[in-house]
Structure 1
Amino acid sequence: MDPRQINIETIEAYFQGKLSPSEQQTLENEISSNPDLASEIDAYRKIFTGLDVLGNVSFKHKLEEWSEEWKSSDGEESMLIEAYLKDDLHPDLNSATEERIKSDPDFAKKVEQYKTIISGLNALESQEFKGKMKTWEAEKTAPSRQGVVIRPLFRRMAIAASFLLVVSIGLKWYATTNFGPNAVIEAAYFRPETGGTMGSEIPEDIQVVEKQFASAHDFMENQEYEMALEAFDNVLMSLDIADFPESRKDAIRDNTLYSIALAQIAMEEEPEEIQEQLNELISTTSDSFYKSKAEELLSKLDSFWFKLG
């Protein structure tokens, strides 16, 4: 193969292992001796990788299927897989994770699913890809270089780029629609009993707290989350001085801590603050319902999809 004949089709065939041994050797020799070509090859590798992993599945169906499978995963497992794929693990933990991949088919499957998504996104977000997007049109009318020349098939690569962008938008849309703050709140928020009609026989301090509690939920339902946070904070302070029956006091407190976490999610506050709020609820509540709801929220906060959304 004449090195001057290297073009996008040659590169794609190289990635797919379809070159003859002599053609492959010629190309690899050129890559070794030509830094510009090596950089170009690496740029295309990222693009083709993204297209391959994202283009060979029924996208929405796969995302829905994976979402169901990952509901049973805890947050620590998601973080472990993400750290493993990013080479952020300590060598000992990395080795242990690789052993688990070999021995645990379900875990191995999740790793592959995660890898599919991450590699596609990495391809889109890479500087090489962004550079290609900016230069393809300019190169279309530029004179050919001497020596090794890359002649992109511009129509084909434009379609490929558009496809990858659409897929990325699809990923973002899916994550936002199903795991973004609004979706999480819609699925998790509920308004409990907030006092109803209170007679004059109810002590005034209790009436004040009940009205604060109802007002806080009014703000939540109207999506006035900053006002809701302030109102729930007032509820917590008032609970400490009001002479509530213990069961009602606990119910209001548990729901208030839970609702504060939801308002924080809506306002996209720091994950650490939200996690601290939920962990406080988990460690102090005696109600298994609120404990499980808080644990479910923590799991969502740790998920890949929430972070993407």
Structure 2
Amino acid sequence: MRILAIESSCDDTGAAVLDGPEQILSNIISSQFDVHARYGGIVPELASRCHIEAIWPVVQEALSAAGTSLDEIDLIAATRGPGLVGSLLVGFTFAKALALVRQIPCVGVDHMAGHLLSVFLEDNHPRFPYIALVVSGGNTSLFKVDNPTRFQRIGRTRDDAAGEAFDKVAKLLELGYPGGPVISDLARDGDPTAFAFPRAWLDEDSLDFSFSGLKTSVVNQVHRLKQKEVPLPVPDICASFQEAVVEVLVEKTIRAAKRYDCSTVVLGGGVASNPRLRSLMAERSDREDMKLFVPAPLFCTDNAAMIGLAGYHLFQAGHTVTPDTDAYSRSPLM
């Protein structure tokens, strides 16, 4: 089965062609980084307009790179939600219209499901069930994944997502947007013990996350240093902040694996590209005799290949959309 997949949940326009659930023939991503960087964050209206301009050229490029045409496409899969509604509507409406014209089935994929299954785009696969941490700019959640279409959310953020906290701290330190990569780079030269930023463990049995208090602590520390009129030790702040985020993410993921008697842990989402998160999760997994699976950075960030993979399994389970099926901004998985 040849699948055309489309992703437009936020600020990247993606299209991919898959031959079956795992063979990627092409995976094209058009970034809007230059459009939004000047504003220090994503402007929804601009994102929607950019998707409109990019959607057809990106799809054409994906088909060309795959050496195929629309005549050979058997299924269209597109992100239905969650995300920015304007952005979602561009890709999802395009997919439904194209499927209607070509008279082929179309499936609407939950973006979270894509991240939960993205590890299957790699050669080394986990076995079900497993515990998955999806951590990005918009989501920080823990799931128990029983099969390719059955996901149980067992933990979520109560306020800021981890990636959102990275972006806000980067903005505070005037490091630009997006904040995650630059904080990670600067943290390499910093001391993670320089500042005792708080870890929000919440209730004893809670698998939820909270990063609002940590963000406020960083803001207060920066203000105190500025009042003293001393140079900001930016690498130390970055390293200490990053360690506070990563430590909680790792420990709660390991705690979830133990609670649900799972010996396999999977990472997904843009923040899963963070080197410190990857290394500490690997250390803790190894110590607990658990197996860790992490996609390549390309498959951690938003991409259409993971949407095509999840869409294949939805179609096999009998789930398709009609022309009047709507997109949604909040995931039923959240």
Answer whether TM exceeds 0.5 for this pair: no
Greater RCO, CA 8 A, separation 6+: 2
Is the strand fraction higher in 1 or 2? 2
TM-score (norm 2): 0.27
